[in-house]
Structure 1
């Protein structure tokens, strides 16, 4: 029997709550790993991906020999690191004669491999190779725009899958509202061919346009690179169905003075203030008052007639 360990401190309980399943996911953390052998270009790519996702990324600099995501049994170490760091996206870099400057980008579900995309890096340009006004440099942690250009992202199966992975990798924190003044960068992904995507990072400059919507200009700040799709692996149908499952019991807004009963259904409490009838001012022309006056008048007339008859009889 395996021993189930529970948190004994408040800090441990908070950490378990952060890792618990949520109806609305927070920003996904990225794990960046090195293979047995890497090139100078690949090291620069991994470092700049880490800087672009700083705050939501963890980078390990040691070489890992046992990680082979596309091979059976080669994902055990990767899943261990995913569980240890609570990262749901990983970027693994390796370099060989057969696959030079190789990047494997993948996602995990319940800290198990969900899907994989393998790409080759070509024509890489680092941040330092671009000259621009440093005032336009994007701020750390700002929310980016992501744009996809080309029909391949809608028609080619490999690029459709690659698009999903790139969105998860680049979008950052999930927000409900967005201030346009705080958006200062954009990722531009262009489908050059059926297996090649040009990725570049641009700063966003807002200028006056004479209307309420400002005119936007893009200034390339880097990095930029060509990503050639080599292999990809989609999740199986059962795993996809389980990962896409949502909770039926969504949190409802609390209703005051309302409760639900199994037999009677929805029951509401209505509070009525005390009615001080004795202090209410009645109008002069109320029907009840008219009726009382009419009855009193008829009674007085009847009493007078009876008195007159009695007087006549006595005479």
Structure 2
């Protein structure tokens, strides 16, 4: 029997609620890991990916010997880290003679391996190698434009799969509305061939155009590199079906006695039953009645006094 541990503190319960499935999921977090051997180029690539996703990324700098995503049994440690950090995307870097500057990007579903893409990094240029006005540097956490250029992203299966993974890696949380002033960066992916993709990161400069829509200019700020596709593992159909499953939104209940008007907007009718005020019993001791009686007594008393004084005068 496996012992199931439950949260005993309020903080633990809140953490479990955050990790529970939601109808609308929040942004995905990225886990960045190092392999047994990593080159200086690969370390720079992993650190700059972490810098681009600093608000939604967790980076481990220690070497991990047991992680081998494409081998059976080699994903156990990776799934453990995914469960521990609550990350659904991971980037794993390793370097060997057979596969130099190797980068594995993958996604998890229910903290189990969903799919994998292995690419080699070539022609890497870091952010420091680009010279530009530092005022144009994109802000942390800003939403990016993501552009995929080339027919390979629609025709070649490996590039189609790579496009899905890269889109999940760089897009961040899904939003419905966005401020134009907050768009200050763009990721541009260009398919150079059936297995090579060029990535460049640019800052957006807004300039006057004489109209409401400003004119945009791209300033390359780095990093830039070539991705050479080596291996890829698409998701299983049964796992994909479960991951794509969504719940139907509950239909809204019909509002009674409510109608919408183009001018007045939402108009509601309220039913008020007959209150029958004339038949309502009044209390016997009413303050208004007492006051009227006192005023009547005073009037009668003053009238009798005047009548008595007139009689006395007539007798005299």
TM score, norm. by length of structure 1: 0.81
Residue 218 of structure 1: aligned partner: 218
Deviations 1:102-127, CA, capped at 9 Å, x for gaps: 00000000000000000000000000
Give the deviation of 1:273 after TM superposition. 2.0
CA distance in structure 2 between the aligned counterparts of 1:186 and 1:252, rounded to whole angstroms: 38
Residue 93 of structure 2: aligned partner: 93
CA distance in structure 2 between the aligned counterparts of 1:20 and 1:143, rounded to whole angstroms: 25
Residue 174 of structure 2: aligned partner: 174
Give the deviation of 1:14 after TM superposition. 1.1
CA distance in structure 1 between the aligned counterparts of 2:252 and 2:59, rounded to whole angstroms: 40
Give the deviation of 1:153 after TM superposition. 0.3
What secondary structure does 1:198 align onto? strand
Between 20-29 and 159-168, report the one with greater CA deviation: 20-29
Structure 1 stretches of 4+ with a deviation exceeding 3 A read 251-258, 274-279
CA distance in structure 1 between the aligned counterparts of 2:211 and 2:161, rounded to whole angstroms: 38
What secondary structure does 1:68 align onto? coil
Residue 121 of structure 2: aligned partner: 121
CA distance in structure 2 between the aligned counterparts of 1:76 and 1:50, rounded to whole angstroms: 23
Residue 272 of structure 2: aligned partner: 273
Residue 64 of structure 2: aligned partner: 64
Give the deviation of 1:25 after TM superposition. 1.4
Counterparts of 1:45-64 in structure 2, within 5 Å, are 45-64=45-64
Give the deviation of 1:252 after TM superposition. 5.5
Residue 306 of structure 1: aligned partner: none
Residue 13 of structure 1: aligned partner: 13
Say whether 1:156 aligns with 2:156. yes
CA distance in structure 2 between the aligned counterparts of 1:254 and 1:143, rounded to whole angstroms: 36
Between 91-100 and 171-180, report the one with greater CA deviation: 171-180
What secondary structure does 1:51 align onto? helix
Give the deviation of 1:275 after TM superposition. 4.4
CA distance in structure 1 between the aligned counterparts of 2:235 and 2:160, rounded to whole angstroms: 14
Deviations 1:29-72, CA, capped at 9 Å, x for gaps: 00000000000000000000000000100000000011000000
Give the deviation of 1:15 after TM superposition. 0.6
Give the deviation of 1:254 after TM superposition. 7.1
Give the deviation of 1:257 after TM superposition. 7.3
Give the deviation of 1:237 after TM superposition. 0.7
Counterparts of 1:1-315 in structure 2, within 5 Å, are 1-248=1-248, 250-251=249-250, 271-275=270-274
Give the deviation of 1:175 after TM superposition. 1.3
Structure 1 residues 185 and 95, CA, compared in 2 at 3 Å: closer, same or farther? Answer: same
CA distance in structure 2 between the aligned counterparts of 1:189 and 1:81, rounded to whole angstroms: 29
Deviations 1:11-31, CA, capped at 9 Å, x for gaps: 111111110111211110000
CA distance in structure 2 between the aligned counterparts of 1:212 and 1:274, rounded to whole angstroms: 56
Deviations 1:125-159, CA, capped at 9 Å, x for gaps: 00000000000000011011100000000000000
Structure 1 residues 171 and 5, CA, compared in 2 at 3 Å: closer, same or farther? Answer: same
What secondary structure does 1:55 align onto? helix
TM score, norm. by length of structure 2: 0.81
What secondary structure does 2:121 align onto? strand
Aligned residues: 268
**Residue segments in structure 1 that go unaligned for 5+ positions in a row:** 259-268, 280-315
CA distance in structure 2 between the aligned counterparts of 1:113 and 1:229, rounded to whole angstroms: 19
What secondary structure does 1:232 align onto? strand
